[in-house]
């Protein structure tokens, strides 16, 4: 359903890889709500080719960029402003990667070179994105900058590994840089702590299907899926949330406030095992 919530708004969406990506769903819904945007991902993702389909469907330009490379980001933001014909109203950072997770390294035996790479891609890149936009003064007043995160930043999920540390740092950057954006241009900066979602990145975490099933049984509303997260992002980009900033917003069906649920307890009560 379209209410033109984003009519006239312009932005950049990072991280659309394929149809399972939350960023892909965000792009589709932003387009449906009247926004114009540039799509971007790392050059290696461009070679997979699927993002071209999204660009065609949404009438969007693709500008490849390594989000850890300041030169790439400078070209991206300048190119987006030129293509869209004005400053930006929204930015979505939907990027995360851990080499240690990919390579199966245990948290107690991390490769620190890989740790630094994952930390740069997953968290520091958000600072680099905002610093680039700041230096180029390319955000409109009352713009909205979002990053996607996960509750492992606050609670221990052993197999989430060093990605938990990356997400904690990401959320801190949002608060710290968000203060300066608010004072300078009334731009709001928030993170959305989404339910575990079966994206390409998420499925690389050991036992991730277990995370998904457990969270669904713990949450009174069940897990939020990628389309529902996209709808929340649209709301955060819209003018209905102009005074929401520096927040880590849980979009998880209530999981974040649960201690235990009846469904989970039934697994442990005598005679209730299934």
Please write down the HEC assignment for all residues of 211-260: HHHHHHHHCCCCCCCHHHHHHHHHHHHCHHHCCCCCCEEEECCCHHHCCC
pLDDT in tens, 233-248: 999 999 999 999 999 9
Whether 150 is a known active-site residue: answer yes
Check pLDDT > 80 for residue 189.
Answer: yes
* Cβ neighbours around 177 below 10 Å, total: 21
Residue 192 marked in a binding site: no
**Chain center to CA of 243:** 20
Residue 15 marked in a binding site: yes
Residue 184 marked in a binding site: no
Catalytic residue among 107, 112, 160, 214: 160
Catalytic residue among 150, 169, 179, 232: 150
pLDDT in tens, 19-34: 999 999 999 999 999 9
Whether 160 is a known active-site residue: answer yes
Q: What is the pLDDT of residue 46?
A: 75
| Concatenated DSSP letters of 104-115 | T--GGG--HHHH
Residue 44 marked in a binding site: no
In terms of pTM, does the model score above 0.85? yes
In the chain, the domains with their CATH numbers are 10-265 (3.40.50.720)
Residue 231 marked in a binding site: no
45: confidence class by pLDDT, cuts 50, 70, 90: confident
d(CA 178, CA 180): 5
DSSP state, 165? Answer: H
162-173 mean pLDDT = 98
């Amino acid at each position: 359903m379209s209410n033109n919530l984003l009519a006239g708004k312009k932005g950049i969406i990072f991280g659309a890889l394929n149809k399972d990506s939350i960023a892909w769903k965000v792009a589709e819904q932003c387009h449906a709500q009247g926004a114009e945007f540039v799509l971007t991902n790392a050059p290696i993702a461009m070679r997979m080719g699927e993002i071209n389909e999204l660009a065609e469907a949404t009438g969007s330009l693709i500008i490849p960029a390594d989000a850890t490379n300041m030169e790439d980001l400078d070209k991206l933001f300048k190119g987006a402003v030129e293509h869209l014909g004005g400053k930006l109203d929204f930015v979505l950072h939907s990027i995360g990667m851990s080499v240690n997770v990919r390579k199966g390294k245990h948290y107690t035996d991390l490769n620190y070179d890989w740790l630094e790479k994952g930390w740069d891609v997953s968290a520091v890149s958000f600072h680099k994105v905002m610093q680039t936009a700041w230096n180029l003064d390319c955000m409109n007043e009352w713009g909205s900058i979002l990053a996607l995160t996960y509750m492992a930043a606050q609670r221990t999920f052993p197999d989430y590994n060093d990605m938990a540390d990356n997400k904690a740092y990401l959320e801190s950057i949002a608060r710290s840089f968000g203060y300066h954006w608010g004072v300078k241009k009334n731009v709001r900066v928030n993170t959305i702590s989404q339910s575990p979602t079966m994206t390409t990145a998420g499925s690389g975490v050991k036992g991730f299907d277990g995370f998904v099933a457990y969270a669904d049984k713990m949450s009174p509303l069940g897990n939020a899926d990628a389309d529902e997260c996209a709808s929340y992002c649209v709301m955060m980009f819209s003018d209905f949330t102009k005074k929401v900033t520096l927040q880590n917003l849980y979009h998880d069906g209530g999981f974040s406030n649960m201690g235990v649920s009846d469904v989970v307890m039934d697994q442990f009560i005598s005679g209730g095992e299934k």
